[in-house]
Chain A
């Protein structure tokens, strides 16, 4: 298709046809004019025609039954998956026992001393406070369960990620193969990874750990490859000119030169692993996520909050400590660093032994603070007083209801009313206008696959929630981003808020929205907006602030008003950043809208949860595949190609 447009004789075309946008539209219109009547004549229907669906639930059910029947006997399971599963259980159990044996005092001491050595005194104090807070909230045991799972999953992710990263960083062919796979994995919602793992390993800790590894390893692999490839060419050449062997080059130059990326990868992997370890409670991860999950199932906001706070604290501590380690890289190494590590180790052991001798291994019951009841009382009060009937502004539940009836329902009904081929056409048009014919083709195929799988309607339901949430996110995000870009004070105020919000796992966002809006589709959308907003604000602000100061200065010198500067200079020049913000917004919103299935969001997310809860893996798998397709489609539709981004800049 691209060649057709390229080779079109430009001289004979009328002026307006020379614009690529117009050419693409005309070409699409031509294709549509031929294909649509054909499609409409054969399969006239608003929704995806039955004739074009393939029922995969039968084969899938057979497969899952076969796996369940043969899990204990088939050699593949006995000698391969069985060993993996056992090893994972053993590792998690061992780490968990070590954590328990160290006692609360030992673990807190170890964590804060590591933070002290890696990141300094302030973060050490923060780490100690965070761990003690977990104890005070009565969540010590679940915290340790989550931590044990995290430790194993992060170690495995790092090993897998670094190996893949080395392969992609050192071999061009591996890079070409791995890059699109890793890029795609990055945009898929966490929920999509749950079902295939459950299919093989069943519900339980091994499945949870493996799902976490699959979700958390890609950033490590990507950043390792990036670091290895981004190394200063002249340094490598200098190293080669001294007669190094390939192995010496890797160990003494390439890997050390990639330290920053490796640490960034570790940081991202840890954050993704925490996020997934919490979500994986749906497939038997236990720990903090399970507490939140159980509490949300019974709309017990207090209990959910008691488990949610430790998750947030853990996330913030892990992020800050690993982030600080990366920032300290360039600094001068401190004298006697090794001795200080030794002191830290001795202090940890001493504290752990002292606690053991004092018989204080378990967190003392007397020190726990039950926040569930007061929180629930507060929520009850809110339910009674804020949900509805507040004069003038209305209540939160009213807002949610209005949002559902006035926005979500019309969008969903509108999408489902549209003839199926027109949905495909819209997808193709958007994707092609923003990206290339390649991205357009992928997007259309992904959308068609959803139809073929027979989940057209629930997918459009999910899509309607995504569209509504993205619209709200972008309006709010661009507004806040522009404000932050124009005023240093706003940015200073926003930065810590954004920092905290960006580190929180997706799951946690469900708690406050359930407290405020109850359950349903509107709360799911609200959670998605809150989750995606920080990233959109941040990218917008950065994009606007990085606009060439010389261009801005020349506009000012010509007497442009602030509004003119924004409209005519900043926004056009920040176009690549804004498109990236849209893309990120869409990907993040989708992730949470899917999880919203847990709080009444319905649609695909609910199908996954339902499939898991009922043991109906076929339904869940189909929904999972549809999520993958939807994620792929949304990402490709909003993906500006690099070539275009460069042209814009």
Chain B
């Protein structure tokens, strides 16, 4: 049971490290966060568990009965690249919230390494760690974590106050961020007088105010109504487009993960089951668990024509509507339906392949991909 996701995870992490290590292919920049073999075990004498291969092989329930310990994070490795939105997704209890807290050591990891811009986080002393939390990584919380006795402005300025920024300056900077998240005119309200969505905007503004290198989101929109959740997701997309800030985003909502994530790590029982782009997760699930997970996803909106296309025959390269390789299948369906002919996938004036109605229907029906795996 536990071995299947582990091998899958090993496989995927291997592939990602391969793609980012300088030897194989020069990445644009070094990873912001590099996590390697991370463990977090709760319980008595937790230290011995990651080191003991016999114990690490146990299933979670068995581990608990044998040792009284719970492994919330099991041997997780991943890189967060600069400027990307890295989503960690999993059901409740899968260890994703623990994982994100380990990144800034709000929860002390049991084993493994974490590096931020190449600097070892686990080796940091108190002062250095405080510097990390103050300037480099700021977090947005599920239940906002606002101070009820402070106004919106003072809540947003709180991170700057902690850094001993002068009152006038921090208020000025906070006011700008408040405006950026769309809360003008509410600066002097208390959190208790705001709606849930507005409160999370304050939480977001508080994190943005310290101008961090990375934003960490811990299920920030789970407590919000669906409509407001969509607003906030668009807000995050907008912020990311405007500022290009690196984000680590924790969620249990698959559609949220697919919408926001450049890459997604899917977690189960503390381990990463699959790590890849939304298209990879939906298009080629690593195992039955992931497949079950993504079953109801409208595949045509996630998969691109790059995966759906087949090689073009000679006469097909010349005519038919043209599509970019990043176009989604649903866009291709529209083009194909309109023209009645297979569409060409064009990159730089070169025809990479074509998608016809058979290929596109295969994506929608989910039959095409299963063929590939089998």
Contact = CB atoms under 8 A, between A and B. Distances in A.
Contact of B133 (A232, A234, A242, A256): A242
Given A241-B133, A243-B162, A330-B192, A256 B147 contact: yes
A257 B139 contact: no
Contacts of A238: 139, 141, 144-146, 203, 206
A252 B130 contact: no
Interface string B114-135: 0000000000000001111111
B142 interface: yes
Contacts of B203: 238
B162 A235 contact: no
Contacts of A232: 143, 145
Query: Which of the listed residues B104, B133, B162 has the most CB atoms from chain A within 10 Å of its own CB?
Result: B162
A71 interface: no
Given A242-B158, A330-B192, A332-B190, A259 B149 contact: yes
A235 B147 contact: yes
B148 interface: yes
A294 interface: no
A57 B141 CA distance: 64
Interface residues of A, number: 20
A253 interface: yes
A234 B141 contact: yes
Interface in A135-165: none
Interface string B135-169: 10011011111111100000000110111000000
B11 interface: no
Interface string B35-66: 00000000000000000000000000000000
A328 to B, nearest CB: 13
B337 interface: no
A248 interface: yes
Contacts of B145: 232, 234-235, 237-239
B210 to A, nearest CB: 7
A240 interface: yes
Contacts of A248: 162
A246 to B, nearest CB: 10
A243 B147 CA distance: 15
A242 B162 contact: yes
A244 interface: yes
A557 interface: no
B110 to A, nearest CB: 19
B239 interface: no
A3 interface: no
A293 to B, nearest CB: 44
A561 interface: no
A614 interface: no
Contacts of B158: 239, 242, 252
Contacts of B133: 240-243
Given A242-B158, A252-B161, A237 B141 contact: yes
Dominant secondary structure at the A interface: helix
B132 A257 contact: no
A242 B147 contact: no
B29 to A, nearest CB: 25
B106 A240 contact: yes
B149 A243 contact: no
B130 A243 contact: yes
Contacts of A237: 101, 106, 141, 145
Contacts, number: 69
A248 B158 CA distance: 11
Contact of B147 (A240, A245, A257, A332): A257
Contacts of A257: 147-149
Given A234-B143, A237-B106, A237-B141, A242 B149 contact: no
Contact of A245 (B130, B132, B216): B130
Interface string A249-269: 000110011010000000000
Nearest to A244: B162
B149 A256 contact: yes
Nearest to B137: A241
Contacts of A252: 147, 158, 161-162
Given A234-B145, A235-B145, A256-B147, A243 B161 contact: no
Interface in B202-225: 203, 206, 210, 216
Interface in B314-356: none
Contacts of A256: 147, 149
B142 A234 contact: yes
A241 B104 contact: yes
B139 to A, nearest CB: 4
Interface string A210-239: 000000000000000000000010110111
Nearest to A240: B106
A131 B341 CA distance: 96
Nearest to A330: B192
Given A237-B106, A252-B161, A242 B134 contact: yes
B20 to A, nearest CB: 27
A234 B163 CA distance: 21
Contacts of B138: 241-242
Interface in B68-125: 101, 104, 106
Contacts of B139: 238, 241
Interface in B147-204: 147-149, 158-159, 161-163, 190, 192, 203
Contacts of B134: 242-243
B109 to A, nearest CB: 16
Contacts of B131: 243
Interface of A: 232, 234-235, 237-245, 248, 252-253, 256-257, 259, 330, 332
Given A234-B142, A235-B145, A238-B145, 16 more contacts: A234-B143, A235-B148, A237-B106, A238-B141, A238-B206, A241-B216, A242-B134, A242-B210, A243-B130, A243-B133, A243-B159, A243-B163, A244-B130, A245-B130, A257-B147, A257-B149
The 3 closest A-B pairs by CB, nearest first: A238-B145, A243-B134, A243-B133
28 contacts: A234-B142, A235-B148, A237-B101, A238-B145, A238-B203, A238-B206, A240-B106, A240-B133, A241-B106, A241-B138, A241-B141, A241-B216, A242-B162, A242-B206, A242-B210, A243-B129, A243-B130, A243-B133, A243-B163, A244-B162, A245-B130, A252-B158, A252-B162, A256-B147, A257-B147, A257-B148, A259-B149, A332-B190
